[in-house]
Amino acid sequence: MLSSAIQSSTIPILEQVVQFAQARHGVLAGNLANIDTPGYQTRDLSPERFQARLRTAIEHREQSRTPISGASLQSSDPFAGAGTSLDGILYHDKNNRSLEHQVSAIADNELQHNLALSLLTKQFQLLQTAISERA
């Protein structure tokens, strides 16, 4: 019963958002670590692509009422969706670094991560209240 209550809530969805934000933070941190490495091309995980896949999984769950599993949203390699980014200027050393862009992306990712964690915490508090039958 508890498992079905958790699966029918937004907890599995928020879990996937947190996991994506953690994986993306690792990619973005790698970009910052290699900002001065000659020939390094920045990478990123596409939030738009993740959101589209998450939306599809939610629609599928609503249609079939089956739980969302991590396998349906992520491959075994969290960096599988990483690709080269062409947003920065290509310098003479063939590096497309942009410190401002990377810091901005990290800040946006942190906001998404913190929001998902806050919502997840509230969901667990509501579940705990329901279990303990306190208002």
pLDDT at 23: 94
Q: How many CA atoms lie within 13 A of 100 on its CB side?
A: 3
For the stretch 54-100, pLDDT in tens is 888 888 878 876 555 555 555 555 545 444 444 444 555 666 667 88
Q: What are phi and psi of 43, to 5 degrees?
A: -125, 160
Rounded mean pLDDT of 15-22? Answer: 93
pLDDT in tens, 88-133: 445 556 666 678 888 999 999 999 999 999 999 999 898 888 888 8
- What does the alpha-carbon distance between residue 127 and residue 108 come to, in Å, rounded to a whole number? 29
The per-residue DSSP string of 58-106 comes to HHHHHHH-----HHHH--SSTTTT-EE---S---TTS----HHHHHHHH
